[in-house]
Amino acid sequence: MRVTEAVVVVILVLLPACQRQPPGKPAEVAAKPRLAPPPRADVFADPGENAPLTDLAVEAGSYHLVAISRQARKVGALHLPTGLWSWKHTISQQPLLLATHPITGEGYLVWSSGPEAGLTRFRVTTGDTLATVLLGAIPPGEFRAMALDPERNRLYIAAEHVLLGVDLTRNRLLPALAFEGPVDLALDSSLGVAVIPHAGGGVSLLDLGSLVFTEVLAAPEGQPILPGAVVVDAERHQAYVLAGQALAEIDLEARKLVRWIAFQPAHDFHAAQMALAASCGRVYLACDGLAEVDLETGEWEGITDLGQCPAAIAHAPSLGALFAARGDQIYSAYHRCDPGGGP
């Protein structure tokens, strides 16, 4: 892969501190170090196309944010402490989806070239290609989402009519699973469950050991689950799904819906991007605004006008940072509620 630059604006917004931390003395709070890079407001000039960014992924170990632009066929990694691009490539294929491995720090790029699609494994810090796995003849418009299963060293890709699995140890495809209309994908790797909202109006659960769909969860009468994003809290074994005019909470151990959190009436989040800050009990939704939902109380907090619906959103727990791609800009929001240290 080779890359050129993309114009990126990094805008800092300080979010309220999360409420799940034990209370500390005022002096302790004041002395607590920031958990994110220092504020930045930089513009990175691009001599080529200023094309919109379409997906983001964070590699917290090396403090990099990876971004792609489908239109410009660009891939790059932004070094968060310095605000500089570590590398940028323009590739011959159309980049579609991004992910990073939470343990190895590898990057994964799903791409399309003519009738063929493929997966490239790459080094996040340099952009060097490590391996390529062909995925078959899948049109680029059919790819929906990608997620890692670190426990089994596998990667799963949801497309319009199929769920693909890749054995990362052997660099080979697993048997494909027929699946109609997935709209997103998230995994609870420790519990061994994949959560897949689908266009049929429900949520399917896939056992990652046997690769068998164990249940289809349907909403109560009058509260249909419409296609939407999903995030998983793997520590508490909870999934949160955008469902019509509410956020649906699913207990993955009990395999049932346990709560509905109604949308704030003044904002449109039906097609929102979503990210989870599990350690401080927050879900972030970004569409016409950036909203925080307190998962303990179900209350909405900190709605901020973004001006337009972002194409992608990514959360970096160890950095206490949230990133959203809006056009050719990256919007960054930092908070202090997550454990870990900044660069």
CA dist 320 and 328 (Å) reads 23
pLDDT at 172 over 90: yes
Beta strands 162-167 and 172-173 are antiparallel
Residues 254-286 have pLDDT tens digits of 988 888 888 766 666 777 889 998 888 889 888
In which band, very low, low, confident or very high, does the pLDDT at 219 lie, cut at 50, 70 and 90? low
> What is the spatial distance between Cα 309 and Cα 31, in angstroms, rounded to a whole number?
36
Q: What is the mean pLDDT of residues 62-68?
A: 92
Quick: pLDDT tens for 177-210.
Answer: 999 889 899 999 999 999 999 887 788 999 998 8
Contact 12, 330 (CB under 8 A): no
Interval 122-170: pLDDT, tens: 999 999 999 999 999 999 999 999 999 999 999 999 999 999 999 999 9
> Does 341 have pLDDT greater than 50?
no
